[in-house]
Every structure is written in structure tokens, then in C-alpha cells.
């Protein structure tokens, strides 16, 4: 009989969002009349920007002619999109990133898991707690952890707590770590990191020859111009960081799929024989073998994000969701909840009322207000006692959700 990857057996029940969907389905079957409002998974609800739609329509037209047809594209993505990203998202902010260092993909979730393909065994790995569960689960699947312990944490991983006491800032570990996952603006807490804080991480990584995997999927929600959008705004980061970017949240591409990963050519790792190798070449090799690129049509849509109209339209989307976040923050504060995040991120992180743990509060909101959120404990042991509400929904639904919560 075929052998399976037994690491999968170490995984806890289900991935967080399918588990929520399962509970919600059970509730809906028992309460078919209920009108649920979904502020759980961070999935966008507003239509795609017009500029992206026009560009994709034009690309479809092209594809219908012999002269405009495109078959397989470059596995790294089309150069015109990589150049637009390099210029607009990085060089315009003073980051020394070239188009060649940008790899287009179908999502940051995939890339932040797939990156383990090019990393070796035995790295000392640190994640924050709470954390985007993909970073942990992908390490479990790849056999980079031990088994789960009663708190739900995994042996062999180092956890850096994010809580109200430390201002949801990741403190630099005192031990030596090889691989660090950071996400700012943070999912799930909505916290942001200043340039000084990121500089301390880069300093640590350079000194310890560690690699930082920096997830910047929510950078467009930053409202304060002094805050960094990219780890590559920090000196020294080209020697120690990989960054994940996405069109999912700023341009509404969750269903359309387009993202990118940035790997500086100067970034090095060590082979088991001690040889020093550049990670860019390994990722290039990995993508060439395992990936056939994002469709031409979708990449044309993503390119349109950088047009004058596209920029104005995505700014409008970001503003819209951030206004939702502000409504959630203000209304919950008025109701006496302790509320964090939601100022530079589309997630509001709230303390659950005394006597209710995260899943109890989930059930309470589901049953009493028909509002779906995400239990903090689903993001890690230190998320217990917290709850995440997403600002991705219509204005009507957000206001209605707040009204219902105020009535329970």
C-alpha cells in the first residue's frame, strides 16, 4: 500500500476557515431563515476595479486572435507586470528591488507555504502567536515540527507572543532562530510595525544569518505615511528577507488570483555540505519545474492596478474597507469592548467578554446576532480570549452587524 505523508496526521482538526464554514453550515441547516453576516474570513466583497476589468476584457479579445494569442507564459510572470510592480511598489519607496527579483504567482498563501520547498530540514523556526495558520500548518506538513501539544502549539516551533501587554509587537527572540515569519500589517491582530521595529528584526536576522519571511499582503491598508510598506525599506534586508505581496485585498483579486514573491538576488542560504547558495536561483528552479504561471488575462488585470485609474480605484476600495473598520472599532468601543487593530489593517481584534472563550464568543455571536467572526484561538494559543472581525463586507452589512451586536 502507498505510504502517506504522516506529518499530515499531526495537524489539528481542520484548517481554521473550513472549520468555521462547517459550524456555520450546521447552524444554517438548523436555522434556514437566518440572515447571516460574514465578518469571518478576510474575503473581499466589492467588485473588481473597473480598470482591471477593462484590461482583462481587452486581454480576452487579444486571445481570440492568432496575433494576440498567448500560450504558456514565463513561469516567473510577464516582465511588464514585474517591471510595474518593481517601479511602483518598491523603487518608488526607495527599495532596491529589480523586476527580475519579483516572481508572479497565484497567491501569497501558496507562496508562503511553497517556499519551504527550497529550505532545508532542521531550521529553528519562529512564528508569532497568534499567527496566520498557514505558516504553521505548512511547516507541520513539511515535517519541520514535532507533534501538537495540549495548548495546540507544536513541538519544535518557537512562538513569539503578540498580546495587549506587548502592544502586539513581536519581541526579538533571545535564542538563535534560522527562519522567522513576520506579517505586518498583522493578520489577525491588525497591528503594524514601525521602521525601527523592522530594523531591529533585520539587524537580528543579519547577525544570526536568519531568513525573515515577510508577509506584506495588507500593506495598502497602512494609513500613516511614516510606516514601512515593505521590509525592503530597511537597510540590510536584501541579505535576510523574502517578501510576499498580493493583489487579493487591495484590488479584490481573492477570486481572480494574482500575487508576487520578492527574492533579492543577494539572499543566501547554506547547503548541507556547507556550500553557500543563492535562494533566488533555487526559487527560480522550483517555479520553472512546478508552476506554469498566472494566466495572461489575469496578469493584464493586475498590471492595470498601476494605471492612473487603477490607482484611484484601488485607493477607493481601501478607503471603503477602512471606513468599515472604523465603524466596527467605534461601535464596539461604545459597547465597552476592548478593541485593537483596524487602523492600518482591515481586521479588528477584540477581547472576548469575561467568561467567554474565543469559540464560545463565536457561537454566541452566531446564535444571538447571526454574525460570523473568527475565534482568536484559531490563530494560536495566545489568540485565546480574542476574536477577529473582518472589515471586508458591504457598508449595509457592517452597520447591520454592529446594530445586532449592540442588541444582544
Chain positions contacting ligand MLT, by CB under 6 A: 41-43, 109, 187
In the complex with ligand MLT, the residue whose CB is nearer, 187 or 261, is 187
Q: For 68, which DSSP code? A: T
In the complex with ligand MLT, the residue whose CB is nearer, 229 or 238, is 229
The residue behind cell 507572543 is 161
Alpha helices in 31-159 (DSSP H): 50-63, 79-85, 108-114, 133-141
Q: How far is the CB of 19 from ligand MLT (least distance, A)?
A: 13
Three cell numbers written together for 177: 532562530
Q: How far is the CB of 286 from ligand MLT (least distance, A)?
A: 21
Q: How far is the CB of 17 from ligand MLT (least distance, A)?
A: 7
In the complex with ligand MLT, the residue whose CB is nearer, 210 or 382, is 382
In the complex with ligand MLT, the residue whose CB is nearer, 43 or 46, is 43
Residue nearest to ligand MLT (CB): 42
Q: How far is the CB of 67 from ligand MLT (least distance, A)?
A: 38
Q: How far is the CB of 261 from ligand MLT (least distance, A)?
A: 15
In the complex with ligand MLT, the residue whose CB is nearer, 109 or 300, is 109
In the complex with ligand MLT, the residue whose CB is nearer, 107 or 264, is 107
DSSP for 297-330, written as a single string: HHHHHHHGGGSHHHHHHHHHHHHHHHHHHHHHHH
What is the Cα–Cα distance from 214 to 196, expressed in whole angstroms?
A: 15
Q: How far is the CB of 373 from ligand MLT (least distance, A)?
A: 11
In the complex with ligand MLT, the residue whose CB is nearer, 145 or 189, is 189
Phi, psi (degrees; rounded to nearest 5) at 362: -60, -50
Helix (H, G, I), strand (E, B) or coil at 194: coil
Q: How far is the CB of 137 from ligand MLT (least distance, A)?
A: 12
CA distances 166 to 191, 198, 362, 378, 404, Å, are 11, 15, 25, 20, 32
CA atoms within 13 A on the CB side of 97: 36
In the complex with ligand MLT, the residue whose CB is nearer, 79 or 110, is 110
Phi, psi (degrees; rounded to nearest 5) at 191: -70, 155
What is the Cα–Cα distance from 216 to 168, expressed in whole angstroms?
A: 17
CA angle 386, 217, 125 (to 5 degrees): 70
The residue behind cell 513576520 is 182
In the complex with ligand MLT, the residue whose CB is nearer, 177 or 260, is 260
Closest to 157 measured CA to CA, from 136, 183, 182, 132: 136
Q: How far is the CB of 188 from ligand MLT (least distance, A)?
A: 6
Q: How far is the CB of 42 from ligand MLT (least distance, A)?
A: 3
The residue behind cell 514535532 is 146
What is the Cα–Cα distance from 191 to 378, expressed in whole angstroms?
A: 18
Amino acid at each position: 500500500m502507498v505510504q502517506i505523508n504522516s506529518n499530515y496526521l499531526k495537524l489539528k482538526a481542520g484548517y481554521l476557515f473550513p472549520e468555521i464554514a462547517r459550524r456555520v453550515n450546521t447552524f444554517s441547516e438548523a436555522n434556514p431563515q437566518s440572515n447571516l453576516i460574514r465578518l469571518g474570513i478576510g474575503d473581499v466583497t466589492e467588485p473588481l476595479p473597473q480598470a482591471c476589468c477593462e484590461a482583462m476584457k481587452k486581454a480576452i479579445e487579444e486571445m481570440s486572435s492568432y496575433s494576440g494569442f498567448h500560450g504558456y507564459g514565463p513561469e516567473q510572470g510577464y516582465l511588464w507586470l514585474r517591471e510595474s510592480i518593481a517601479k511602483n511598489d518598491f523603487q518608488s519607496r526607495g527599495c532596491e528591488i529589480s523586476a527580475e527579483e519579483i516572481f508572479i504567482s497565484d497567491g501569497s498563501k501558496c507562496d508562503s507555504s511553497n517556499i519551504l520547498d527550497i529550505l532545508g530540514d532542521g531550521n529553528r523556526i519562529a512564528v508569532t502567536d497568534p499567527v496566520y495558520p498557514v505558516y504553521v500548518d505548512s511547516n507541520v506538513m513539511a515535517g519541520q515540527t514535532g507533534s501538537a501539544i495540549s495548548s495546540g502549539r507544536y513541538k519544535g516551533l518557537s512562538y513569539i507572543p503578540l498580546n495587549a501587554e506587548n502592544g502586539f509587537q513581536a519581541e526579538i527572540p533571545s535564542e538563535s532562530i534560522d527562519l522567522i515569519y513576520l506579517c505586518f500589517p498583522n493578520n489577525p491582530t491588525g497591528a503594524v510595525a514601525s521602521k525601527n521595529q523592522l530594523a531591529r528584526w533585520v539587524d537580528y536576522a543579519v547577525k544570526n544569518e536568519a531568513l525573515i519571511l515577510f508577509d506584506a499582503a495588507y500593506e495598502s491598508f497602512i494609513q500613516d505615511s511614516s510606516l514601512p510598506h515593505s521590509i525592503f525599506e530597511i537597510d540590510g534586508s536584501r541579505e535576510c528577507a523574502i517578501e510576499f505581496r498580493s493583489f487579493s485585498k487591495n484590488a479584490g483579486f481573492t477570486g481572480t488570483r494574482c500575487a508576487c514573491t520578492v527574492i533579492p538576488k543577494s539572499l543566501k542560504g547554506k547547503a548541507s555540505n556547507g556550500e553557500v547558495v543563492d535562494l533566488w536561483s533555487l526559487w527560480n528552479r522550483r517555479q520553472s519545474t512546478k508552476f506554469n504561471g498566472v494566466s495572461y488575462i489575469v496578469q493584464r488585470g493586475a498590471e492595470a492596478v498601476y494605471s492612473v485609474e487603477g490607482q484611484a480605484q484601488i485607493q477607493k476600495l481601501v478607503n471603503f474597507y477602512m471606513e468599515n473598520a472604523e465603524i466596527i472599532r467605534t461601535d464596539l468601543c461604545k459597547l465597552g469592548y476592548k478593541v485593537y487593530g483596524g487602523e492600518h489593517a482591515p481586521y479588528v481584534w477584540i477581547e472576548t467578554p469575561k467568561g467567554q472563550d474565543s469559540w464560545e464568543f463565536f457561537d454566541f455571536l452566531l446564535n444571538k446576532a447571526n454574525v460570523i467572526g473568527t475565534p482568536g484561538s484559531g490563530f494560536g494559543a495566545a489568540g485565546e480570549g480574542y476574536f477577529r472581525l473582518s472589515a471586508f463586507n458591504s457598508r449595509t452589512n457592517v452597520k447591520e452587524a454592529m446594530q445586532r451586536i449592540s442588541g444582544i
